[in-house]
């Protein structure tokens, strides 16, 4: 059995009114619904704690989007198990894709104005209220990945034992399109590959490495502990 290599946990915020009806929610600072709060509290109780999927003793860094829905998700999920040796940072680089004037719109309505529109190839619109392009989003996600890979590389270089190096997990509390973009870029795919990954409200994605080496970044688990999965337990 190989080492338990360091991991990155991507957690999308819980349910909001706009996530329920499919509106593009970038900079709008919506709260969680009551059901969203219940969802992430239940999820935290299941997966966070000694001996559980996310062991607070192994977490060294938490990055949180500036939006309240992400901050509240982090607060509710950790509950009585805050990581004892961890930096917690509000990081604008893990915010959601900026949709510009498409903020709050449904995809079907955007396509009435911009036929064939796809976030992965078109991004937010140009003009007086521009959004982020796929190239800008790629650059932002890549900055976060570079930061995390340096954390993991430094931990390995400075550790006295392999086990100590592996206690350098990172958790990101963020959003749907950011999560899907991050998965694609972590695996060295173009950002448009994010189209093929799922990130439901309250969903958990696990990323890490294969074959005991930091040279093989991999997707380990996708969209775990969603509302449907919790209800079916």
Q: Spot the catalytic one: 24, 61, 81, 96.
A: 96
Say whether 18 counts as a known binding-site residue: no
Please give the Cα distance from 78 to 45 (Å, whole number). Answer: 8
Instruction: Give the C-alpha separation, 142 to 136, whole Å.
Output: 10
13 is catalytic: yes
Alpha-helical segments (H) within the chain: 17-21, 34-47, 68-78, 107-113, 119-122, 134-158, 162-166, 176-186, 227-232
**127 in a labelled binding site:** no
69 a known binding residue? yes
Q: Is 73 annotated as a binding residue?
A: no
| Residue 123: both structure tokens together | 């991004």
Does the annotation mark 96 as catalytic? Answer: yes
The answer to whether 188 is a known ligand-binding residue is no
Question: Which residues are CB-neighbours of 205 under 8 A, at least 6 positions away?
Answer: 9, 10, 11, 179, 183, 197, 199, 219, 221, 222, 223, 224
- State the Cα–Cα distance between residues 124 and 182, nearest whole angstrom: 18
Using alpha carbons, list the distances in angstroms from residue 105 to 8, 62, 128, 161, 228. Answer: 31, 30, 17, 51, 25
Identify the active-site residue in 13, 24, 152, 177.
Answer: 13
Tell me whether residue 154 is annotated as binding. Answer: no
98 in a labelled binding site: yes
Binding positions are 25-26, 69, 96-99
Binding positions for substrate are 25-26, 69, 96-99
Catalytic residue list: 13, 96
């Amino acid at each position: 059995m190989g080492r338990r290599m360091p991991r990155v946990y991507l957690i999308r915020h819980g349910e909001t009114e706009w996530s329920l009806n499919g509106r593009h929610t970038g900079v709008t600072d919506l709260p969680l619904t009551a059901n969203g709060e219940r969802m992430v509290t239940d999820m935290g109780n299941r997966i966070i704690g000694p001996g559980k999927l996310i062991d607070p003793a192994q977490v060294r860094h938490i990055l949180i989007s500036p939006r309240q829905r992400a901050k509240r998700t982090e607060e509710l999920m950790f509950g009585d198990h805050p990581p004892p040796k961890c930096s917690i940072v509000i990081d604008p680089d893990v915010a959601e894709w900026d949709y510009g004037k498409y903020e709050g719109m449904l995809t079907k309505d955007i396509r009435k104005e911009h036929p064939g529109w796809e976030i992965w190839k078109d991004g937010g619109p140009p003009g007086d209220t521009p959004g982020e392009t796929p190239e800008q989003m790629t650059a932002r996600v890549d900055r976060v990945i570079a930061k995390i890979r340096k954390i993991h590389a430094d931990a390995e270089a400075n550790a006295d034992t392999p086990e100590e190096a592996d206690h350098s997990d990172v958790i990101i509390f963020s959003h749907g399109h950011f999560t899907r973009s991050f998965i694609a870029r972590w695996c060295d795919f173009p950002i448009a590959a994010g189209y093929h990954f799922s990130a439901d409200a309250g969903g958990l994605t696990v990323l890490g490495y294969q074959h005991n080496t930091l040279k093989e970044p991999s997707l380990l688990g996708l969209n775990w502990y969603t509302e449907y999965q919790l209800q079916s337990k």
